[in-house]
Structure 1
Amino acid sequence: MPEITFVRGDATAPSAEGPRIIAHVCNDVGGWGRGFVLALSRRWSEPETAYRAWHRDRAHNDFQLGAIQLVQVEPRTWVANMVGQRGIRTGGKGVPVRYEAIDTALARLADRALALGASVHMPRIGCGLAGGTWARIGPLVTERLAGRGIAVTVYDHGDQAGH
């Protein structure tokens, strides 16, 4: 079974050969403007545009916790918008991360990655603004992706190493 590879670097610039998917976690309220999405938007406009349209038309599509949206940004590169957090603020109901939704989204991502023959690249999803812990999310990534033979690289961007 492939192991997850951890590197220091930018998840928006994966160095792998072949098809690749950059995965990240989005919220379920249509918010895009803090955290890793800023790096995505600096590089490509399509993931934000697609996410906002997906959220806006949610009454007529599959937008909900656990859903994924694959957006092609280059001939062999896609961004996976994965809905894995409820809201955007930590408050009376705890942190926004929803581990079950991330688990569901990762299972759906695995199906798409296998169909494309793609490797998966990500920051430590759900561990920034969403408030999750890698101790809970890492095993999901291992089971859902690496456990199905998908090469996964997790990028720590300098000050995030070890969180």
Structure 2
Amino acid sequence: MAETITYLRGDATAPRGKGPRVIAHVCNDLGGWGKGFVLALSRRWPEPEAAYRRWHRERSRNDFALGALQLVQVTPHLWVANMIGQRGTRTARSTGVPVRYEAIDAALARLAPEARRLGASVHMPRIGCGLAGGKWERIEPLITARLTDQGIPVTVYDHG
């Protein structure tokens, strides 16, 4: 049965509700972790950053690339989903935006069976829309198609 996205004001690093939960967010493909939502994650748990940096460092031997997904367990019933959905980072000289919608779509497609296996709901900020420069009108339909239409509950948190 299809779900709809729930929108709440609050902190995506403190997902509401009962049962297993996954916090999904977008990472870049450069191994950089130091701006935006990842800082809030790192203030709560060291494991997602350490796992992401290790994943990037060992990328010649794993699946680290645009569209990839890494699930990192941080408590008995909570995981962080590092999703590679951003090509590089924004710099003063860069033109265009780092977000890659097709990579976010691919990572969400990989997340769906994992969330189902865990019996988990998915929680996130407006992924791809901060430093990645994406537009929510393009990302929301991907979340609907890959997660909520598959019966996976999703909560999106707006800070404030």
TM-score by length of 2: 0.97
Give, in whole Å, the separation in 2 of the partners of 1:137 and 1:15.
22
**Residue aligning to 1:161:** none
Specify every segment of 5 or more residues in structure 1 that has no aligned partner in the other structure, as ranges.
159-163
**Residue aligning to 1:10:** 11
Question: Which residues of 2 match residues 12-161 of structure 1 at below 5 A?
Answer: 12-89=13-90, 91-92=94-95, 94-158=96-160
Give, in whole Å, the separation in 2 of the partners of 1:5 and 1:76.
20
Give, in whole Å, the separation in 1 of the partners of 2:85 and 2:19.
27
Give, in whole Å, the separation in 2 of the partners of 1:150 and 1:135.
20
Give, in whole Å, the separation in 2 of the partners of 1:111 and 1:84.
18
* RMSD, matched Cα: 0.7
Local SS of the residue matching 2:32: coil
Give, in whole Å, the separation in 2 of the partners of 1:68 and 1:16.
23
Q: Please tell me the residue identity of whatever aligns with 2:53.
A: R
Give, in whole Å, the separation in 1 of the partners of 2:7 and 2:34.
26
TM-aligned CA deviation for residue 16 of structure 1: 1.2
TM-aligned CA deviation for residue 32 of structure 1: 0.2
Give, in whole Å, the separation in 2 of the partners of 1:49 and 1:80.
13
Moved over 2 A (4+): none
- Percent same amino acid at aligned positions? 75
